[in-house]
Chains A and B, each alone.
Chain A
Amino acid sequence: MGALQKPQTLYDKLWQRRLVMDYADGMSLIYIDRHIIHEVSSPQAFEGLRESGRKAWRPSAAIATPDHNVPTSNRQLGVDGITDPVSKIQVLALDENCREFGLPEFGLTDERQGIVHVIAPEQGLTLPGMTVVCGDSHTATHGALAALGVGIGTTEVEHVLATQCLLQRKALNMLIEVTGTLPAGVTAKDIVLYIIGQIGTAAGTGHTIEFAGSAIRGLSMEGRMTLCNMAIEAGARAGLVAFDEITEAYVKERPRAPSGEQWPVAVAQWRDLHSDAGAEFDKVYRFNAEAIKPQVTWGTSPEMVVAVNARVPSPEQQCDPSKASQYREALAYMGLSAGQAITDIQLDRVFIGSCTNSRIEDIRAVAQVVVGKQVAATVKQALVVPGSGLVKRQAEAEGLDKIILAAGFEWREPGCSMCLAMNEDRLYPGEHCASTSNRNFEGRQGSGGRTHLVSPAMAAAAALAGHFVDISEEA
Chain B
Amino acid sequence: MQPFTQHTGKVLPIDRTNVDTDAILPKQYLKFIGKFGFGGWLFDDLRYLDPGDVETDLKTRRLNPDFVLNQPRLQGATILLGRKNFGCGSSRESAVWALRDYGIRVVIAPSFADIFYNNCFKNGILPITLPESSVDQLFLTTFMAEPPLQLCVDLEACVVRQDNDFEWPFTVDEARRQKLLLGRDDIAETLLQAEKIKKFEQRLKVAEPWLF
Binding site for B on A (CB under 8 A): 20-21, 25, 29, 31, 33, 43-45, 47-48, 51-52, 54, 57-58, 60, 86, 89-90, 93, 127, 129-130, 153-155, 158-159, 162-165, 167, 257-258, 262, 266, 269
Q: Does B197 contact A (CB under 8 A)?
A: yes
Q: With A29-B197, A159-B186, A167-B190 as known contacts, state yes or no: A269 contacts B208, CB within 8 Å.
A: yes
* A31 & B212 in contact (Cβ 8 Å cutoff): no
Q: With A60-B212, A163-B191, A269-B208 as known contacts, state yes or no: A20 contacts B196, CB within 8 Å.
A: yes
Query: Would you give the 0/1 interface string for B184-196, flagging 1 where the beta carbon is closer than 8 Å to chain A?
Result: 0111001101101
* B197 & A163 in contact (Cβ 8 Å cutoff): yes
Segment 134-164 of B: residues with Cβ below 8 Å from A:
none
Distance in Å from the Cβ of B119 to the closest Cβ of chain A? 8
> Which residue on chain A has the smallest CB distance to residue B174?
A25
* B36 & A52 in contact (Cβ 8 Å cutoff): no
7 closest A-B pairs by CB: A258-B210, A43-B33, A44-B35, A47-B35, A163-B190, A162-B187, A86-B31
* B93 & A155 in contact (Cβ 8 Å cutoff): yes
What secondary structure prevails in chain B residues at the interface with A? Answer: helix
Residues of A close to B201: CB separation below 8 A: 31, 58, 164
Distance A45 CA – B187 CA, assembled complex (angstroms)? 12
Distance in Å from the Cβ of B189 to the closest Cβ of chain A? 9
Distance A51 CA – B101 CA, assembled complex (angstroms)? 14
Residues of A close to B122: CB separation below 8 A: 155
The 8 Å CB contact of A54, one of B35, B36, B187, is B187
Distance A54 CA – B1 CA, assembled complex (angstroms)? 13
Binding site for A on B (CB under 8 A): 31, 33-36, 54, 91, 93, 122, 175, 185-187, 190-191, 193-194, 196-197, 200-201, 204, 208-212
* B187 & A159 in contact (Cβ 8 Å cutoff): yes
Distance A163 CA – B34 CA, assembled complex (angstroms)? 21
Distance A266 CA – B207 CA, assembled complex (angstroms)? 9
* B193 & A20 in contact (Cβ 8 Å cutoff): yes
Distance A54 CA – B200 CA, assembled complex (angstroms)? 21
Residues of B close to A266: CB separation below 8 A: 208, 210
The 8 Å CB contact of B36, one of A33, A47, A60, is A47
Q: With A155-B122, A165-B190, A167-B190 as known contacts, state yes or no: A31 contacts B34, CB within 8 Å.
A: no
Distance in Å from the Cβ of A251 to the closest Cβ of chain B? 11
> Which residue on chain A has the smallest CB distance to residue B210?
A258
Distance A86 CA – B53 CA, assembled complex (angstroms)? 12
* B36 & A21 in contact (Cβ 8 Å cutoff): no
Distance A154 CA – B175 CA, assembled complex (angstroms)? 23
Distance A257 CA – B208 CA, assembled complex (angstroms)? 12
Q: With A20-B196, A31-B200, A158-B187 as known contacts, state yes or no: A129 contacts B35, CB within 8 Å.
A: no
* A21 & B208 in contact (Cβ 8 Å cutoff): no
Q: With A20-B197, A29-B193, A164-B201 as known contacts, state yes or no: A90 contacts B210, CB within 8 Å.
A: no
